[in-house]
A = this chain, B = another copy of it.
Amino acid sequence: MNRFICLLLLTCLSSSVFSQETSTKKENVTYYGKEHFLIEGTGVAETEKESPYDRLPASYKDKVRKPVWGLSKNSAGISLRFNSNSTSIKVKWSLLNDTKMNHMAETGIKGVDLYCKLNGVWTYVNTGRPTAKENEAALISSLSPVEREYKLYLPLYDGTTKVEIGIDNSSVITKPAADKQLPIVFYGTSILQGGCASRPGMVFTSIISRKLNVDCINFGFSGNGMMDPPIAELISGIKASFYVIDCLPNMTAKQVTDSVIPLATAIRKKNPNTPIVFVENVEYTRAIFQANLKKSMDEKNQALKTEFDKLVRGGMKDLIYISATGSIGTDNEGTVDGTHLTDLGFIRYADYLIEKFKENKLAIK
């Protein structure tokens, strides 16, 4: 009897947990959990992570510096892809921290961003606006009931502990096949993490991902993109079309000098032929007024170029150096604070990088 009650309780509990994670009905909407969509923008298997929307494996908790671990819980660049014929799309999402910042819209910090493939082009639909740790939003309605492919970008500067997609009871949601092309893997700073996009889909890696139809993996760590050896080790283990290293804003010239060769060597060891792209320090718009800021940028770029040239002279192949001059336009308008990009800066930066990738014949494999 006791065993029966235990079993019954266990069944109820499992069922409850299961229903929360997979499908819950409310009014005419059924919500579906993570078994029903493809998680993209991550190079780490779900089984290795504390949460499916984290960016680092659990095993890195004691390998990386504490702030890097904290930031790895932010779901920057991670997205969900699914197909549905629903006439409406709703979403529920739960946040880890409920982060606040005064130079970035909350929609970008901790909102969700829906895109739909329209005639082969990923097209913006709507943004879920956050109100608390637990959020719910109706993203679109009045659609014709035909199957469409969707992508939902997760919060850039907060952790996502749970997401559910709500569709009409009478409709279906299916999980698309995973992309077979190798992703582009990015390692960098607060700008790469998405500071300060108005909504999650506007960080430059997600713009590039949509424009080139390739998955992009975002290892942007605000204030902490410092060419750390554990991150070098991690990205070396992710098979990529190519790697983009965009860390200079968080480093001193001395740190650049000390770190470029070890980073490139670590990646090259496991990936003999994969191109590695180094990007100069993004142009701080105030540098035109402040000689000391210009000098600091120039010194870091010079340090990068010096180490890059040493690598080339040492025989390392498939290395690309990208200047940052003009990368966010020439009108000084692309940032919210002289450093962090707005959607305007991000679209310019994405277009600039795509142009440079093409000039350097960097192929998606």
* Contact of A104 with B by CB under 8 A: yes
Docked-complex contact B129 and A103, CB < 8 angstroms: yes
The interface bits of chain A over 106-137 (1 if a CB of B lies within 8 angstroms of the residue's CB, else 0) are: 11000100001010000111110111000000
CA A125 to CA B332, docked complex, whole Å: 8
With A102-B130, A103-B127, A288-B118 as contacts: A333 and B343 at CB distance below 8 Å: yes
The interface bits of chain A over 54-72 (1 if a CB of B lies within 8 angstroms of the residue's CB, else 0) are: 0000000000000000000
B-facing residues in A57-102 (Cβ within 8 Å): 102
CA A106 to CA B101, docked complex, whole Å: 8
Selecting from A45-53, A194-202, A243-251, A301-309, the interface stretch reads A194-202
CA A289 to CA B142, docked complex, whole Å: 8
Contacts of A141 in B (CB 8 A): 290
Docked-complex contact B106 and A103, CB < 8 angstroms: yes
With A105-B103, A105-B105, A333-B343 as contacts: A286 and B140 at CB distance below 8 Å: yes
CA A290 to CA B141, docked complex, whole Å: 8
* Contact of A237 with B by CB under 8 A: no
Contacts of A343 in B (CB 8 A): 198, 333-334, 342-345
Contacts of A145 in B (CB 8 A): none
Docked-complex contact A332 and B103, CB < 8 angstroms: no
Contacts of A126 in B (CB 8 A): 286, 337-338
* Contact of A347 with B by CB under 8 A: yes
* Contact of A161 with B by CB under 8 A: no
Docked-complex contact B105 and A196, CB < 8 angstroms: yes
CA A221 to CA B347, docked complex, whole Å: 29
Docked-complex contact B336 and A140, CB < 8 angstroms: no
CA A234 to CA B186, docked complex, whole Å: 54
CA A108 to CA B37, docked complex, whole Å: 35
Size of interface on A: residues with Cβ below 8 Å to B? 46
CA A126 to CA B290, docked complex, whole Å: 12
Docked-complex contact A140 and B289, CB < 8 angstroms: yes
Contacts of A292 in B (CB 8 A): 142
Docked-complex contact B288 and A123, CB < 8 angstroms: yes
Contacts of A130 in B (CB 8 A): 102
Pick from B143, B196, B291, B332: contact of A289, CB under 8 Å: B143
Please name the residue on chain B nearest to A107 by beta carbon. Answer: B103
B-facing residues in A263-297 (Cβ within 8 Å): 285-286, 288-293
CA A345 to CA B342, docked complex, whole Å: 11
CA A118 to CA B330, docked complex, whole Å: 13
| CB of A135, distance to nearest CB on chain B (Å) | 10
Q: List 26 A-B contacts (CB under 8 A).
A: A102-B106, A102-B107, A102-B129, A102-B131, A103-B107, A103-B111, A105-B105, A105-B336, A118-B288, A123-B288, A124-B332, A124-B333, A125-B286, A126-B286, A126-B338, A127-B337, A141-B290, A142-B291, A142-B292, A143-B289, A196-B198, A198-B198, A198-B336, A199-B336, A342-B344, A344-B344
Per CB-CB distance, the 8 closest pairs between chain A and chain B, nearest first, are A102-B106, A343-B344, A342-B343, A198-B336, A344-B344, A198-B342, A124-B332, A105-B105
Q: A102-B131, A142-B291 given; name 6 further pairs at CB < 8 Å.
A: A103-B105, A103-B106, A118-B288, A124-B335, A140-B289, A142-B293
